[in-house]
Amino acid sequence: MHASPSLIPVDRALSEQERSLIEWLLLHGDGDNAAFVAQLNQSSVVAHCACGCASIDLAVAGKLGAGNMRVLADFQWTTPEGHACGAFVFEQDGLLAGLDLWSIDGGAVPSALPAIEDLVPFGTLRAD
């Protein structure tokens, strides 16, 4: 993991909710993500974002990806308060590397994981 003031190092297993969300995103994302779904069983959380959002960085079998990030699945949802937020899963060097949750409209920090049933492909909801 790269030293960054925006990341807080941790060492823990994925929660069941994180695992389920990432698996769903991968299965519904672009291309064939089967190899990345298989990596979930060996993935652990190595950092979370310091801003208070629910974004996490991952290691696979203790290995961290480096270099260019490639988005594997990109979705969005609207919070119960009406704020537009995004969720994407990414890889680096062929390793599942993280889940990023972000505010599209700048109105709220997505501090909780979205419900799978609320997700739609990125760009299909209008951010006011």
pLDDT tens, 51-93?
999 999 999 999 998 889 999 999 999 999 999 999 999 999 9
Which pair of tokens denotes residue 101? 């949750």
Query: What's the token pair of residue 120?
Result: 């739609």
0.85 exceeded by pTM = yes
State the greatest distance between any 2 C-alpha atoms of the chain, in Å, as a whole number.
41
Q: Where are the alpha helices (DSSP H) in the chain?
A: 16-28, 34-39
